[in-house]
A and B are shown apart, each in its own frame.
Chain A
Amino acid sequence: MLFNSLHFLLFFIVITALYFSLSQSKRWMLLLAGSCYFYMAFVPVYILILGFTIVVDYFAGILIENSTGKQRKLYLLYSIVANIGVLAVFKYYNFFNDNFSALMQGLGTPFSFPYLSILLPIGLSFHTFQAMSYTIEVYRGHQKAERHFGIYSLYVMFYPQLVAGPIERPQNLLPQFHALHEFDYARVTSGLRLMAWGLFKKVVIADRLAIAVDTVYSNPERYNSVGLIIATIFFTYQIYCDFSGYSDMAIGAARVMGFRLMTNFNNPYQSSSIGEFWKRWHISLSTWFKDYLYISLGGNRVPVPRWYFNLLIVFLVSGLWHGANWTFVAWGAIHGVYLIGGLLTGGIRKRISKILHLDRIPLLSVLTTFGLVAFAWIFFRANSMSDAIYIATHSITGIPGVIHRALTHQTVYQNLGLSTSFMVLMVCSIILLETVHFFHNKYNLAIVFRRLPTPVRWAFYYAIVLAIIFFGVFENRQFIYFQF
């Protein structure tokens, strides 16, 4: 069931209405049943995989808490192996098998394991990571093992964040299932507002940009560097609006019922460095990797070369987490290199920018970061490594030709097969998005909104609703992050 579907609209209304009409003792049952229905609307049988990880981690949590010494570590290991095992089989088996058989072919001894013809369960990496964070936190003593099997199942399956996060921590989410959430008009409307904004970002901006992006990325060789750059910038906004739109809807839907989910995005494209970008982009995943992988590897409390190695490992794993394809690994590696390069050249860059007075133009570092991030997205979006390399090289090497065309008064703009009104709508949407972000940074828009006279506020609501309906794309486009 997609958030941008009529099915979800009806589901949400029914579940929320029932939620507030039931007593606290029965609410978890409703949410669990609703979450099962929500998940089974994709591929019903995959609920068994989810059930497997829930059972394993539920008992692992209790066993870890009840044991001491090496035994605790062993139970944690069992749990992690089970979770990673599920990921390995369903997400990475064919990828590793393909690479293994290519290697064997190269060595002159062709061999491969049988191909596993299965569909990747939706959001597998998200709920697996959330389940793992539970056993790790119990092991570390930061969280008590949950004895209520239904509540624990709900922790893994809570429908708003089941398939694409935010990846919650047990300390934040588990206690909320035990707490009573009264109906609060201001909170409910704030949740609904956030959902509407998320839906706007998804169907009006992301899905419309996707039309242009898909056109170019499916046949990159047909486009010049201007076309490739436009498509890449569009994808940069598409993925942000797609994923942050989903997060907004998830956080909003949970907020309506009184649950506080963690913030997942904080205007990432206004970051002035790659380090800052990762503090603002997919926060629930980057903090997961920081807390459970980076720190476990020693973090920055190790010799400098080892620190850099740790950073690179975290980003390579992060790339692989996103998908079983070398393009994702390359994307992770590029970000790792950015970060390490940034650390190595920090001093020199500071001195140069002081000499040239570049530090007086803060927008420059924001634009540079945006450019670097957009470049890395090429590898994330491209259908293959060869396509990615083609787009990356031709985006850059074609620029002199474009400049020459511009200087000789020839057309540089390449039609992406889209109408002018489409392009105008897209550019206006991006400008609107950045304007909202700009004002939200300066003034808290939620507070400003509440203070507006009702007719003005409602005019905004009508504008958003009508824009969603009339300018939105409703072709059941999945959210990009569902595949991860």
Chain B
Amino acid sequence: MKKLLAKSLLFLMPLVMFFIYLEVNLSTIQNSYSYKRQCFEHQLDSIEVLVLGSSQVVYGINPAFFTLHGFNLSNVSQTLYYDTHLPLAYLDRMPRLKYVMINISYFSFGEQLIDGREAWRDYYYSQYWDVNFPEMEYLDSKRFSKIFLYTPMRSLSYFWDSFQVDLIKNYEPSGYSRIDTTIHTQSDSTGFLRVRTHDDCFLEKRIAENQRDVEEFIRVLQARNITPVLVTPPVCETYSKFINHEKMQRNYDRVQSICSKYNCKYFNYFSDNRFTRTDFCDNDHLNFIGAEKFSRIINREVLVAR
């Protein structure tokens, strides 16, 4: 037994050292999660508007066009669970916070990361935000190791590149990420596939828990005199024409019932005709032109008007 232990230790030592080296260096790489947290914590004292949501908000709302100090805490594929859980630990440290914008997309109420192909993102929230989705496997290596979080193969490629990788290209300190493209690739076929992808990740069984999270979050905000606002961002017509209208109506009814229950406002820009194809980079994401337009509209109609 002693011989096995001694030899195992000897065998494992170089491996362990190599992995520690990798882990340490990988943890120095900034990604959208670590970068947003860092910027967010840096601005806590001054943030007046907090914007939450998924990629439609990441690329679609630029707080630089607000007259109040805003921060965009959304992230790609961020679900309502994280929208409503990430800010909780910080509310006490945000004395100037007046508005929190909760994004309600076509798919928001039926989505949880763990059900789909982007379940790996749960582990980024776990490692970089200390927020753990309850159904996440406790003993998953992605929860403890950066090598497994980034995937071992990608970690190895970062190692070959001497860890000189830029994963936060286009991200601004306000949390907004700019999409420069003005080439319009949105077509009916990609719109159809995009809606189908969103329909696939929408599970009826998730609606109740998401609605509960939103309502609880609204209660917490209102108890602190912070105004919650529900917003549905615009999409291109090549997207909206393929949606399930019955599902959309149920979403709308759900939001209306929440708003009337808690006396809060809902702003629906889903099919807003002020947005044209040139404002989008694809079927459901605004480019920098559309983002400026949308941010100014939000500022005018949601923030200043109140």
Q: CB within 8 Å of B: which of A28-81? A: none
On chain B, the residues within 8 Å of A120 by CB distance are: none
On chain B, the residues within 8 Å of A20 by CB distance are: 1
Interface pair A461/B139, CB less than 8 Å apart: no
Interface pair B152/A469, CB less than 8 Å apart: yes
Interface pair B15/A465, CB less than 8 Å apart: yes
Report Cα–Cα, A471/B153, bound state, in Å.
6
Interface pair B152/A188, CB less than 8 Å apart: no
B148 within 8 A of A: yes
Q: CB within 8 Å of B: which of A428-484? A: 458, 461-462, 465-466, 469-472, 474, 476
With contact pairs A189-B4, A470-B153 given, residues A5 and B139 touching in the complex (Cβ less than 8 Å): yes
Nearest CB in chain A: distance from B206 CB, A: 19
Nearest CB in chain A: distance from B185 CB, A: 19
Out of B14, B15, B152, which one reaches A472, CB within 8 Å? B152
B20 within 8 A of A: no
With an 8 Å Cβ cutoff, the count of chain A residues facing the other chain is 20
Interface pair B4/A188, CB less than 8 Å apart: yes
Interface pair A7/B153, CB less than 8 Å apart: no
Nearest CB in chain A: distance from B291 CB, A: 31
Report Cα–Cα, A353/B156, bound state, in Å.
52
Report Cα–Cα, A462/B12, bound state, in Å.
9
As a 0/1 sequence over residues 132 to 168 of chain B, the CB contacts with chain A under 8 angstroms (1 = contact) are 0000010111100001100111011000000000000
Report Cα–Cα, A441/B123, bound state, in Å.
44
Interface pair A461/B11, CB less than 8 Å apart: yes
As a 0/1 sequence over residues 303 to 347 of chain A, the CB contacts with chain B under 8 angstroms (1 = contact) are 000000000000000000000000000000000000000000000
Nearest CB in chain B: distance from A218 CB, A: 12
Interface pair B4/A6, CB less than 8 Å apart: no
B205 within 8 A of A: no
Q: CB within 8 Å of B: which of A1-33? A: 5-7, 10, 20
With contact pairs A465-B15, A470-B156 given, residues A476 and B1 touching in the complex (Cβ less than 8 Å): no
On chain B, the residues within 8 Å of A7 by CB distance are: 137, 139
B3 within 8 A of A: yes
On chain A, the residues within 8 Å of B1 by CB distance are: 20, 183
Nearest CB in chain A: distance from B199 CB, A: 17
Out of B11, B14, B140, B152, which one reaches A470, CB within 8 Å? B152
On chain B, the residues within 8 Å of A470 by CB distance are: 152-153, 155-156
Nearest CB in chain B: distance from A239 CB, A: 23
Interface pair A458/B4, CB less than 8 Å apart: no
Interface pair B139/A6, CB less than 8 Å apart: yes
Report Cα–Cα, A73/B1, bound state, in Å.
49
Chain A interface, DSSP helix/strand/loop, else mixed: helix
Report Cα–Cα, A470/B19, bound state, in Å.
11
Nearest CB in chain A: distance from B43 CB, A: 36
As a 0/1 sequence over residues 1 to 33 of chain B, the CB contacts with chain A under 8 angstroms (1 = contact) are 101100000010011000000000000000000
Report Cα–Cα, A10/B137, bound state, in Å.
15
- Of the listed residues B137, B139, B140, B142, the one surrounded by the most CB atoms of chain A closer than 10 A to its CB is B139
On chain B, the residues within 8 Å of A458 by CB distance are: 11
Nearest CB in chain A: distance from B236 CB, A: 25
What is the chain B residue whose CB lies nearest that of A1? B139
On chain B, the residues within 8 Å of A183 by CB distance are: 1
Report Cα–Cα, A466/B12, bound state, in Å.
11
On chain B, the residues within 8 Å of A465 by CB distance are: 15
Nearest CB in chain A: distance from B127 CB, A: 15
Nearest CB in chain A: distance from B97 CB, A: 38
What is the chain B residue whose CB lies nearest that of A10? B139
On chain B, the residues within 8 Å of A476 by CB distance are: 137, 140
As a 0/1 sequence over residues 227 to 262 of chain B, the CB contacts with chain A under 8 angstroms (1 = contact) are 000000000000000000000000000000000000
On chain B, the residues within 8 Å of A185 by CB distance are: 3-4
Report Cα–Cα, A34/B199, bound state, in Å.
42
What is the chain B residue whose CB lies nearest that of A454? B7
Report Cα–Cα, A398/B21, bound state, in Å.
51
Report Cα–Cα, A6/B141, bound state, in Å.
6
As a 0/1 sequence over residues 110 to 121 of chain A, the CB contacts with chain B under 8 angstroms (1 = contact) are 000000000000
What is the chain A residue whose CB lies nearest that of B14? A462
Nearest CB in chain B: distance from A275 CB, A: 41
Nearest CB in chain B: distance from A111 CB, A: 29
What is the chain A residue whose CB lies nearest that of B148? A474
On chain B, the residues within 8 Å of A469 by CB distance are: 147, 152
Report Cα–Cα, A470/B147, bound state, in Å.
9
On chain A, the residues within 8 Å of B15 by CB distance are: 462, 465-466
Nearest CB in chain B: distance from A2 CB, A: 10
Report Cα–Cα, A471/B155, bound state, in Å.
11
What is the chain B residue whose CB lies nearest that of A470? B152
On chain A, the residues within 8 Å of B139 by CB distance are: 5-7, 10
Report Cα–Cα, A6/B155, bound state, in Å.
18
What is the chain B residue whose CB lies nearest that of A189? B4
Report Cα–Cα, A5/B148, bound state, in Å.
12
Report Cα–Cα, A6/B140, bound state, in Å.
6
What is the chain A residue whose CB lies nearest that of B141? A6
Nearest CB in chain A: distance from B205 CB, A: 13
On chain A, the residues within 8 Å of B151 by CB distance are: 474
Report Cα–Cα, A185/B3, bound state, in Å.
8
What is the chain A residue whose CB lies nearest that of B152? A470
Q: CB within 8 Å of A: which of B90-115? A: none
On chain A, the residues within 8 Å of B142 by CB distance are: 474
Report Cα–Cα, A73/B155, bound state, in Å.
62
Report Cα–Cα, A32/B141, bound state, in Å.
27
Nearest CB in chain B: distance from A225 CB, A: 25
Known A-B contacts: A462-B14, A470-B152. Give 11 more (CB < 8 A).
Answer: A5-B139, A5-B140, A10-B139, A185-B3, A185-B4, A461-B11, A471-B152, A472-B152, A474-B142, A474-B151, A476-B137
21 contacts between A and B (CB under 8 A): A6-B139, A6-B141, A7-B137, A10-B139, A20-B1, A183-B1, A185-B4, A188-B4, A189-B4, A458-B11, A465-B15, A466-B15, A469-B147, A469-B152, A470-B152, A471-B153, A474-B141, A474-B142, A474-B151, A474-B152, A476-B137
Interface residues of B (CB under 8 A from A): 1, 3-4, 11, 14-15, 137, 139-142, 147-148, 151-153, 155-156
